Structure 1
């Protein structure tokens, strides 16, 4: 058995609607089903989703505050006013700032821009900055991706005669700034049809309101970059904007975009949302995290490829430095949490802080800790001199971290964000109380089920459905991202045909899976350690994304595994190991580090009086011994204490001497998930064979000829072994059968024929039946292939239950 990392939840699908849609649109049943599971069961909705274009965008003037912003900006341009673009340091903020710079250039405005330093200043508007630009004669401020919480800062600007147009997309607080106008689709009074715009999306709508049809389509590249990087939903209006932007990036109008694509490994062809999310966005963000976001703005506003390539290389280096810094901080955070877990257990909401931690990467560290522990996580960097703590939060579904921070607002100097991610700052002296208050808030909201990660699957299908044509049609659902993920297919009962590790240090897993005659290759990134938990021909359930592997002109389906499980008992073959004790220690150590093994304990099974009791250190291991009457019984105090049902992993160090030991063990260990066969093969002189009437008749006739007056048992056994080719052990067990039936008499080391035996069938002998069962057990456990043993074991377990 192999435990899935996630709890799989399948979206419901109306098969009748899917069938109708497939016919109406002439698409594969797989694609039609996926459209239906995503809520598009009507022809018009599905066509809009598949074929939507920029022409389907909403009127920007529907955004509340837009009708006031447009004339004010035009007035400022006409009058030569100085306009300040005030942005943010993340990829969305950089994209927004860049787009607004290009807009101001197009309008012929007098402008400048400002992005605060992430670690020195922190998020949002700052009054000293506004004072500086007021003295320089700036009269209009346009914020992008920030400002909706800047009540005091906007009040200051108004007091000195500066108008502020706030464009933002973050959650509006209860008290709003009294700006010249506020543009944010999430404002409660805003009736804009689509609420999921990124900060750059709002800036793009402002550009559309000012330029109308003259808005360059290439600007959708900037909108796509910020929208994907900020994890905004790729549905509705975002979908058509991002789709256009990705198509434009392949022949970008921005030298900086092309240069950055080059440093992230792209050379030509289609640019995907994955290319942006894992290639462009981290490098743009590295600028603000490790240096200053101005360098990223300089890249995206560069007018020559030479300049762009130089800056792109800078950002690539910064990103590599960021990766190393993050890894160091993660390790420090893990040490804190491990100590805390040992002392008082893991809290519902994790709060960790470190002096000197780079505030620019605390959000990434929080994401990595959340992935490991799956609970809301806040990571803060403490300034060693001032004691100021700046941090980022990442949350899980069902827990609104912005709401939680609002409840602690009296402890915070500043905070803002979304239900799933946020930022904050506070003094070191309030840190302990902050953690306590957060967990008190969570106590009434987080239940045990919240801490089990859920993987939403789109559709259950079989391997025959995963064809090249179907996968090509799935690309019509792209671009993929938040709220429009790459389809996750649930495939059950696949036979594992091949399994091997690949990549550096065997970090990844490559499988060949089969079902009903069809095979497909599958890759599981980051799951290489599971190779040791998968047995030959195991029946595997997977959640996977379907793609196409192109190599040397060949194209074939490929599955990218997101999660996998084996729901049946697995048997692992280590028979004949030269040092079973060492191997036992190695296997137990490895299993203890793999979450996919689940909870429960491991146990060892031996024969009573085994030499392993003297040669192995088994004090910390539950040991069970075979027992002819009860199957197995405790062989040490630990086994007695934990009982049968605690054992999920069983190490078989020896085979039983009787069939009842094995069958009783099988029925006793009801919770077993995996069995490791570590026993040595029987010596040839101990081998037994399945008994047959003909063989036994032959043996009896041989005994009858020579034992009428009695023979020494040792001599008889040796003679019978020679004549029959049976092992000594087999001959001894056959004599036991004849003795039970009353055919022979054994006494004082002698064997003689019973003078008047009763007529009895061989099958009436319990020893004969036991011999047959023991022969079957030993034959299978010594010479069977793992798939055969597994199937045989499952049959016996089902029979026992």
Structure 2
């Protein structure tokens, strides 16, 4: 796929020189810091040294006092409490965290995960009825509930109180719950707004611990679950999230709980996990439980106290993950064939594909894969409970939610945000919706949005990459949204020795620039460039810098994101 390269605006030269002198670092590293609004020694020290003391007082969050008071009342009265969470990674880690913590201090707890297919996302009437039937008088809802105004009203009629712990944007009306914890509330002055759902759950247990003189050290073991939620829910890795992710990764890589260790063993690796590794190895396994079967399996694994339970639940989840992969691959292949065999679909600026027999649990993954392939707004539809359900993904800069608003008369319901959404429609509206969505996209998307962009942080010469440079660069992590791994541009490089094709379509090579040291490189899915770069001609590369570990040998490796040959001036 063709990609366009763009270089971020360089800060002022005087600023770069001043910060480099103050910190004694390479000007390129100063450029990266200035891009992150870090301009002096104090700010740099705060950034490079994430500290638990950087976490905010949980009682700064609106309704936190009410939440803790209601929990303490429930404990004192011996009430039954239910921990309720969504079926994705953020929801299941939230439930596991809050349930595991409070179980240490109170026995009368249960938890509940709604069925993806029977109940759908968020708080369900069925879940409330289950609580009522089992004598539960307090529900702590995690990663959902901020828009469940009607459901909370219904629970109130049954005498069931709710504490909502959510991180999604509220609607115009805040549910009439006992407490509503959500930093995105307009009337909430909590300093950091980008916590995950599990992050809100952590603030709840932090507040309880603080109120009841429980040492903070006893909370540290739960940070691995918060880190997993931060990674998989694609929230900003800035501020408080960066601190939580930093310590969570330390726990994962040094002493993970039994459940997380089981997932790591299944992935074939038990050390050096990054945010990206969690997203692509641990996250899909946790998600597979709810996509294919029952997300309670994931919670049971994450709260497991013995190897026997963890192994049993891990085996179930691995089987579900294998099944998920099979559905994913077969549906993706079918969708690609559907598009490639239809010239009209190929020529469109959007993709809408429908098959009544596709598995609903993986259509979001398929939508992401199709977006990667064709790089345009994409919707995958299938039949579900008499309706047609869909999962939508967008491209950078295009507001998917607004596009769906332009089709709202053809939809039963829809929700989401700029880059991802879900929708439901009547079967007879599929063709009309496909046509309308294309019309809306065609009228509002720009040609530039339809070409994937590689955002380059700075130009770099190979001679600048030494041990000190890499050591400081590594301290910019954990990497993720709003703190992505920097992408560098280096011009006029050559292949040193041989470049070889590995795997399906990847290039493994060593490159050199003038008389600098050479660097090993991996270029995924760029096999078509092999004939060009093997001719000894110079070319430009953009890349991230990472550590490669092979049989206990550690070395710097360049992960190539794009190649531009002077011969053809082709951009990838």
Task: Specify the TM-score bucket, using the shorter chain as the normaliser.
Answer: over 0.9
Distance 1:356 1:554, change over 3 A: closer
* Contact kept in structure 1, 2:2 and 2:451, CA below 8 Å: no
SS at match of 1:218: helix
1:513: Cα distance to partner?
Answer: 1.6
Distance 1:535 1:252, change over 3 A: closer
1:440: Cα distance to partner?
Answer: 4.7
SS at match of 2:48: helix
Instruction: Tell me the residue number matched to 2:511.
Output: 513
- In structure 1, the gaps of 5 or more residues are 571-595, 599-801
For 1:69-123, what per-residue CA distance to the aligned partner results, in whole angstroms no more than 9, with x for missing partners? 2212221222122222221111111111111211321331522111122233321
Distance 2:446 2:18 in 1: 41
* Contact kept in structure 2, 1:542 and 1:563, CA below 8 Å: yes
* Contact kept in structure 2, 1:497 and 1:536, CA below 8 Å: no
Instruction: Tell me the residue number matched to 1:64.
Output: 62
For 1:609-642, what per-residue CA distance to the aligned partner results, in whole angstroms no more than 9, with x for missing partners? xxxxxxxxxxxxxxxxxxxxxxxxxxxxxxxxxx
1:644-655 aligned within 5 A:
none
Q: Is 1:263 equivalent to 2:266 in the alignment?
A: yes
1:444: Cα distance to partner?
Answer: 4.8
1:148-227 aligned within 5 A:
148-212=146-210, 214-215=215-216, 216-227=219-230
1:602-617 aligned within 5 A:
none
1:201: Cα distance to partner?
Answer: 0.9
Instruction: Tell me the residue number matched to 1:312.
Output: 314
Instruction: Tell me the residue number matched to 1:367.
Output: 368
Instruction: Tell me the residue number matched to 2:245.
Output: 242
Distance 1:259 1:146 in 2: 27
- In structure 2, the gaps of 5 or more residues are none
Distance 1:597 1:61, change over 3 A: closer
Distance 1:110 1:554 in 2: 50
1:204: Cα distance to partner?
Answer: 0.9
Instruction: Tell me the residue number matched to 1:476.
Output: 475
1:253-402 aligned within 5 A:
254-268=257-271, 270-340=272-342, 342-343=343-344, 346-383=347-384, 386-402=385-401
Instruction: Tell me the residue number matched to 1:464.
Output: 463
1:517: Cα distance to partner?
Answer: 0.8
1:621-700 aligned within 5 A:
none
* Contact kept in structure 1, 2:162 and 2:178, CA below 8 Å: yes
Distance 1:62 1:434 in 2: 45
Instruction: Tell me the residue number matched to 1:80.
Output: 78
SS at match of 1:380: strand
Instruction: Tell me the residue number matched to 1:41.
Output: 39
Pick from 131, 134, 142 the counterpart of residue 144 of structure 1.
Answer: 142
* Contact kept in structure 2, 1:77 and 1:109, CA below 8 Å: no
* Contact kept in structure 2, 1:9 and 1:454, CA below 8 Å: no
Instruction: Tell me the residue number matched to 1:91.
Output: 89
Instruction: Tell me the residue number matched to 2:116.
Output: 118
SS at match of 2:337: helix
Instruction: Tell me the residue number matched to 2:561.
Output: 562
* Contact kept in structure 2, 1:499 and 1:509, CA below 8 Å: no
Larger deviation, residues 420-429 vs 450-459 = 420-429
* Contact kept in structure 2, 1:4 and 1:564, CA below 8 Å: no
TM-score in terms of structure 2 length: 0.92
Distance 1:73 1:417, change over 3 A: farther
* Contact kept in structure 1, 2:356 and 2:383, CA below 8 Å: yes
For 1:472-528, what per-residue CA distance to the aligned partner results, in whole angstroms no more than 9, with x for missing partners? 2211011111111111111112123345334334x2101222212122221112222
1:373: Cα distance to partner?
Answer: 1.4
1:702-721 aligned within 5 A:
none
1:164: Cα distance to partner?
Answer: 1.9
Distance 2:296 2:409 in 1: 33
1:401-800 aligned within 5 A:
401-406=400-405, 408-409=407-408, 411-505=410-504, 507-518=505-516, 519-550=518-549, 555-569=554-568
* Contact kept in structure 1, 2:237 and 2:483, CA below 8 Å: yes
The total of aligned residue pairs comes to 566
Distance 1:493 1:237 in 2: 40
* Contact kept in structure 2, 1:499 and 1:512, CA below 8 Å: yes
Distance 1:11 1:98, change over 3 A: farther
SS at match of 1:360: helix
1:253: Cα distance to partner?
Answer: 5.2
Q: CA RMSD in A?
A: 2.4
Distance 1:431 1:399 in 2: 22
* Contact kept in structure 1, 2:3 and 2:451, CA below 8 Å: no
Distance 1:417 1:200, change over 3 A: farther
Larger deviation, residues 308-317 vs 163-172 = 308-317
Distance 1:433 1:67 in 2: 50
Larger deviation, residues 362-371 vs 102-111 = 102-111
For 1:633-666, what per-residue CA distance to the aligned partner results, in whole angstroms no more than 9, with x for missing partners? xxxxxxxxxxxxxxxxxxxxxxxxxxxxxxxxxx
TM-score in terms of structure 1 length: 0.67
Bigger Rg over Cα: 1
Distance 1:155 1:46 in 2: 48
Instruction: Tell me the residue number matched to 2:22.
Output: 24
1:173: Cα distance to partner?
Answer: 2.9
Q: Select the structure with the greater relative contact order (CA < 8 A; seq sep ≥ 6).
A: 2
Distance 1:286 1:344 in 2: 30
* Contact kept in structure 2, 1:30 and 1:470, CA below 8 Å: no
Distance 1:51 1:388 in 2: 51
Distance 1:254 1:550 in 2: 24
1:551: Cα distance to partner?
Answer: 5.1
Instruction: Tell me the residue number matched to 1:53.
Output: 51
SS at match of 2:382: strand
Instruction: Tell me the residue number matched to 1:738.
Output: none
* Contact kept in structure 1, 2:86 and 2:143, CA below 8 Å: yes
SS at match of 2:254: coil
Instruction: Tell me the residue number matched to 1:708.
Output: none
* Contact kept in structure 2, 1:272 and 1:479, CA below 8 Å: yes
Distance 1:45 1:150, change over 3 A: same
Distance 1:548 1:181 in 2: 45
1:465: Cα distance to partner?
Answer: 1.1
1:234: Cα distance to partner?
Answer: 0.8
SS at match of 1:107: coil
Distance 1:204 1:138 in 2: 23
1:321: Cα distance to partner?
Answer: 2.4
Distance 1:315 1:554, change over 3 A: closer
Distance 2:268 2:440 in 1: 45
Distance 2:189 2:165 in 1: 16
Distance 1:407 1:153 in 2: 28
* Contact kept in structure 1, 2:85 and 2:143, CA below 8 Å: yes
SS at match of 1:44: helix
